[in-house]
Amino acid sequence: MLIDVDLKDGMLYVSNSIRERKNAGHSSKIGLKNLDERFRLVTGKGITVEREKDEFIVRLPLVKI
């Protein structure tokens, strides 16, 4: 799996191509929910998750320290 990491517009973009699994079970997406909650606690902003035709993208807000 190739993972692309990019910075633009004050966001960290992490994306990878989607490959369907043969034995894909139901996902609770609890990892993404947990990440979103943690970002909201620390930064006051949530993450954005998108699924385009062949790509999965997560955008994380960056904040100045």
Taking the CB of residue 13, how many other CB atoms lie within 10 A of it? 16
For 49, the domain range is 3-19+28-61
What is the chain's mean pLDDT, rounded? 89
| Residue 38 DSSP symbol | H
Domain count across the chain = 1
| β-strand partners of 55 | 17, 52
Tell me, what's the pLDDT at 24? 64
* 31 vs 21: CA distance, rounded Å: 19
pLDDT in tens, 31-55: 999 999 999 998 899 999 999 889 9
Tell me, what's the pLDDT at 63? 84
Rg over alpha carbons for the chain, rounded to the nearest Å, is: 13
Tell me, what's the pLDDT at 61? 93
What is the number of H-type helices and E-type strands within the chain?
A: 1, 4
